[in-house]
Amino acid sequence: MRRIGAIAFALALAIAAPASAVPYSALAAAPAPKPRVSATTIMPDFVCVTCHEPLNVAQSPQALAERSYMSSLVAKGETLPQIESAMVGQYGPAVLGVPKAKGFNAVLYILPPVLLLAGIASLAVILPRWRRRARAAAAQSAPAGPPLDTADARRLDEELARYKG
């Protein structure tokens, strides 16, 4: 029995030794494979610079040229940031479907939430004032006028009873 256990241990050691010969740090330092992109998945992110339609639906000659250039970049194995920079270098920043949030374009991303918060804050201040003003106006309403005499009150009651029935 001991002999079989020793043989199994030696066999396991022989199998595991080559795997442990490569240090873990060398495995961790190995570059990760580049994520592959497909032209069909990234085409909606770019627009035709002449007709301003997304490249996946545009049919202009310029769009066809942009699509073929993008397909060549994808075929080379470029990553998405590399493709974006190459497309901007070739066709200018108008080729991007969504502008980068740099410089003046940052206003496009900052201004809508700021305006929304300003609107909510102004409503939080103005609505209570309007309600107070309406309550004060209701409290100071004009007098109802002289009271009805008994004949008018009886006639009003009869007419209201006729409409209720």
**C-alpha span between 26 and 15 (Å, rounded):** 20
**C-alpha span between 64 and 58 (Å, rounded):** 8
pLDDT tens for 79-116 read 889 999 999 999 998 898 887 777 887 888 889 999 99
- What is the predicted pLDDT for the residue at 28? 54
For residue 120, the Cα-to-chain-centroid distance in whole angstroms is 21
Domain range annotation of the chain: 39-98, 100-137
pTM summary value: 0.48
- What is the predicted pLDDT for the residue at 99? 75
Residues of the chain whose pLDDT is less than 70? 1-35, 142-143, 165
Alpha helices by DSSP H, the chain? 2-21, 24-28, 39-42, 61-76, 80-91, 106-139, 150-164
Are 73 and 83 spatial neighbours (Cβ–Cβ below 8 Å)?
yes
